[in-house]
Structure 1
Amino acid sequence: MSPFNLETCARPNILALEPYRCARDDYKDDGTNILLDANENACGPSLTPTAVEAASKGAGVDIDFLGLHRYPDPHQRDLKQLLCNLRNTHHYTPKVITPDNLFVGVGSDEAIDALLRCFCIPGRDRILVCPPTYGMYSVSAQVNDVGLVKIPLLEAPSFGLDVPKIRDALSTERDVKMIYLCTPGNPTGSLLDKEDVRQILEHPTWNGVVVLDEAYIDFAPDGTSLAEWVAEWPNLVVMQTLSKAFGMAGIRLGAAFTSAPIARLLNSLKAPYNVSSPTSALASYVTSGDGLAKMRENRERIVAQRERLLTELPKIKGIGRLRGGTQSNFLLYEMLNSSGEPDNTVALAVYETLAEDKGVVVRFRGKEHGCLGCLRITVGTEDEVTRFLAAIEQALIEVNGGRGGKRETPGEEDRKEIAANGVVA
């Protein structure tokens, strides 16, 4: 069992925090009350009847646009229950997670930042990350003046956790409060082995928090999520989002499943009304009934196109190895030079040629650990995949044939940087 102790791990000022009590904490709008407590605009939102009608038709969901002059529910327990229903699969535990185990906020990024503020003392504490991984862990750490310990993932294509080195670092490195792990990984697309995660959770001396970022978990096989484990482990946080499989990136809704004591701290330090009423209504729709059915339908379409890319990309001259997993809605592939070697100069030239000449935008990831010469390709619709396959085949011909791509012949500064770092920034 973990030696985790919340009282000595969390920041003392956060443990002592008295949460801000907002107007809706005491009395809610039941449709009959006259609400004169929150300094809201009693005349209603600045929307004409025409605008409300248009917005209502466009949303296709029951959103009270005329109620936008009132602050939203600060606790979102109904939405949290829907998220719990989704993850209470009992694949890993008979225990049940409840709204008390949840923090919801503005995407996963709010949870990443809130956890840092909750546990890490600026200028002293550090987090552990495993590159290649999602860049916001490091960015948020820097914003909060929190240091980094880096233990790279194992070599491609497994991109698994180097458990012995991680456990050793948690034993020997001072002031490491959290470890951020991405599964399926970004940009790797690989699932982490749950037994590797268990070994880290079972570290015999480390008093810290393990954060699993499951942003892409719904593209993996059913039952893969470890959100239920928060009912078993007091120091586990599992982050999820509606931006990916649910296709709701525009509403910015993320969730962090964790133990009730940690959830209380996160909810204590958040802004009072961090989830808007339209966001809550749309999130509630897509996590129940028809919304879930539509998500699964769209997921099947994406998986079918993912399989198509896995079949077709290796047939194209200049496409190298798949350097990661197939458990997300993107794939990580090498771009080869005329000698058949993965090459960052070629990958960058293909990336720019695709975007600037072909109107197809992918992501250059060659500067990441273990991703030499790699592009990360998001799985699109059938038509988008058709266009992409034709475009990348032509781009590789142009780049390796010397007939296109603005960076196929690097300038002197580029050559120096490639020689020194293997990348063009």
Structure 2
Amino acid sequence: MVFSLSSIVRPNILALTPYRCARDDYDTGILLDANENSFGPATKFEFNSDANLQLERYPDPHQTELKKLLKDFRNVPSTDCFFVGVGSDESIDLAIRVFCQPARDKILICPPTYGMYSVCANINDIGIVKVPLDVSEGKFSIVPSEIKKALAADKTIKVVFLCSPGNPTGTVLREDDIKEVLEFEEYAGVVLVDEAYVDFCKSPSSIASWVEKYPNLIVIQTLSKSFGLAGIRVGIAISSPDIAAIFNNTKAPYNVSTLASRVAISALQKPGIEKMADNLQNIWRQRDVLISALKTFPRVGAILGGNDANFVMAQLVNSKGEPDNDFAFAVYRRLAESEGVVVRFRGSELGCKGCLRISVGTDQETLILLQKLKFLLT
């Protein structure tokens, strides 16, 4: 018998369109495409011979010390409410694997939204129900009545994914809208709220403390964004102790490395939290500078979304003032290939025609970006 790879790989994997990372397109220049924290990590932790890392031993499978620090920082009542994983993506994948039966159940997403929800569903052979955001006038808010209608019509939906602030929308969701979904009596599944960018909101916006009231709520966060630690891949899920226990029982035994854990623990000490807070001030200031400048360019039609994250979504228009994907894509490529500045083209997303998503950079990075854009857009 002749070996044929295609005959033994699951059909849904062969048909899979993988998540396209920012670095898949361009990886040099001023990188303002992946919503990383240009102001750097919130810790000066250094690995040296005195660190006593005991790398010959397996890491703590329970991440006890890290969970204690997260409990205090996020004002959650118990460490039993926490799961620590490899970025937010592990929590997304676990939620689908734990609650959904392959080839039978579904998740619900609200596009435009983070692409990994769909990728993880496809990998796990789970269906996807889409209830679009209200994209009129760049609102990017969920429509609870439409979500409830979809949930009532399809009992195989087991996880609702809500992104707040949204990616690529940058809009924090209204609390009353989230409550309306959580409290919908005809839905027996879970609601997962992705708060990767929540620290960039100028007013407190996390609903992590709601897990005390809502046993069907999972809130996921990450140290990649506000703490500037994208390189260590540490994310968390906050939920009822019962859900957290299932996540912890399902994960790989030593999913978070000793090195990643030690850096995370260092960042959650008082100096790290203070550094993170300082960086937030800088990001807010540069976000305002970026938005104000973009509004002066004649080929920028609008700044879409709520601007509650560490990025801005600018809509480029043609000479008639209409959103223009061809023009936006040409500017995106020219910036990356000739001007040494990388942003993200998002014109293919619902409600984002002609849009470039621009991560907030340092003062110097913002200055250079605006100089390049002024040349290209005026």
TM, length-normalised to structure 2: 0.86
Instruction: Check 1:66–1:180 CA distance in 2 against 1; reply closer, same or farther (3 A cut).
Output: closer
Q: CA RMSD in A?
A: 1.5
Give the Cα separation in 2 of the matches to 1:294 and 1:58: 13
Runs (4+) off by over 4 Å = 60-63
What are the within-5 Å matches in structure 2 for residues 275-294 of structure 1?
A: 275-294=256-275
Give the Cα separation in 2 of the matches to 1:120 and 1:216: 26
Give the Cα separation in 2 of the matches to 1:333 and 1:75: 42
**Native 8 Å contact 1:167 1:200 kept in 2:** yes
1:270 to 243, 251, 261: 251
Superposition deviation, residue 64 in structure 1: 3.4
Partner residue, 1:419:
none
Q: Does 1:179 align with 2:166?
A: no
Partner residue, 2:74:
87
Superposition deviation, residue 118 in structure 1: 0.3
Give the Cα separation in 1 of the matches to 2:129 and 2:198: 25
Q: Does 1:64 align with 2:51?
A: yes
Partner residue, 1:200:
181
Partner residue, 1:234:
215
Give the Cα separation in 2 of the matches to 1:272 and 1:349: 47
1:326 to 294, 307, 313: 307
2:92 to 99, 103, 112: 112
Instruction: Check 1:242–1:61 CA distance in 2 against 1; reply closer, same or farther (3 A cut).
Output: farther
**Native 8 Å contact 1:63 1:281 kept in 2:** no
Q: Does 1:375 align with 2:362?
A: no
Q: Give the secondary structure class of the aligned counterpart of 1:315.
A: coil
Give per-residue Cα distances to partners, 1:232-277, cap 9 Å, x unaligned.
1001000000000100000000000001111111000100011111
Give per-residue Cα distances to partners, 1:310-339, cap 9 Å, x unaligned.
111111121110110111000111011122
1:190 to 160, 171, 179: 171
Instruction: Check 1:276–1:63 CA distance in 2 against 1; reply closer, same or farther (3 A cut).
Output: farther
Give the Cα separation in 2 of the matches to 1:303 and 1:141: 34
Q: Give the secondary structure class of the aligned counterpart of 1:266.
A: helix
Give per-residue Cα distances to partners, 1:120-153, cap 9 Å, x unaligned.
0000000000000000000000000000000000
Superposition deviation, residue 176 in structure 1: 0.2
Partner residue, 2:278:
297
Partner residue, 1:124:
104
2:64 to 65, 73, 77: 77
**Native 8 Å contact 1:61 1:285 kept in 2:** no
**Native 8 Å contact 1:63 1:278 kept in 2:** no
How many pairs align?
Answer: 334
Superposition deviation, residue 63 in structure 1: 7.7
Amino acid at match of 1:113: D
Give the Cα separation in 2 of the matches to 1:252 and 1:290: 21
Q: Give the secondary structure class of the aligned counterpart of 1:67.
A: coil
| Greater shift in the superposed pair: 217-226 or 185-194 | 217-226
| Greater shift in the superposed pair: 122-131 or 152-161 | 152-161
Superposition deviation, residue 299 in structure 1: 1.1
Q: Give the secondary structure class of the aligned counterpart of 1:128.
A: strand
Q: Give the secondary structure class of the aligned counterpart of 2:128.
A: strand
Superposition deviation, residue 354 in structure 1: 0.5
Instruction: Check 1:61–1:204 CA distance in 2 against 1; reply closer, same or farther (3 A cut).
Output: farther
2:144 to 141, 163, 166: 163
TM, length-normalised to structure 1: 0.77
Superposition deviation, residue 205 in structure 1: 1.6
Instruction: Check 1:207–1:358 CA distance in 2 against 1; reply closer, same or farther (3 A cut).
Output: same
Give the Cα separation in 2 of the matches to 1:58 and 1:111: 26
Give the Cα separation in 2 of the matches to 1:299 and 1:187: 19
Q: Give the secondary structure class of the aligned counterpart of 2:138.
A: coil
Q: Give the secondary structure class of the aligned counterpart of 2:162.
A: strand
Q: Does 1:350 align with 2:331?
A: yes
Give the Cα separation in 1 of the matches to 2:56 and 2:309: 39
Give the Cα separation in 2 of the matches to 1:171 and 1:280: 42
Q: Does 1:138 align with 2:118?
A: yes
**Native 8 Å contact 1:62 1:281 kept in 2:** no
Give per-residue Cα distances to partners, 1:323-379, cap 9 Å, x unaligned.
101110001110111222110000100100100010100000000000010010000
Give the Cα separation in 2 of the matches to 1:227 and 1:360: 36
What are the within-5 Å matches in structure 2 for residues 204-223 of structure 1?
A: 204-223=185-204
Q: Give the secondary structure class of the aligned counterpart of 2:114.
A: coil
Unpaired runs of 5+ residues, structure 2, are: 1-43
2:242 to 261, 265, 277: 261
Higher relative contact order (CA closer than 8 Å, sequence separation 6+): 2
Superposition deviation, residue 116 in structure 1: 0.7
Give the Cα separation in 2 of the matches to 1:63 and 1:301: 33
Unpaired runs of 5+ residues, structure 1, are: 1-56, 89-95, 398-425
Superposition deviation, residue 65 in structure 1: 5.3
Q: Does 1:363 align with 2:344?
A: yes
Give the Cα separation in 2 of the matches to 1:123 and 1:394: 51
Give the Cα separation in 2 of the matches to 1:129 and 1:302: 29
Larger-gyration structure (1/2): 1
Q: Give the secondary structure class of the aligned counterpart of 2:159.
A: strand
Superposition deviation, residue 222 in structure 1: 4.2
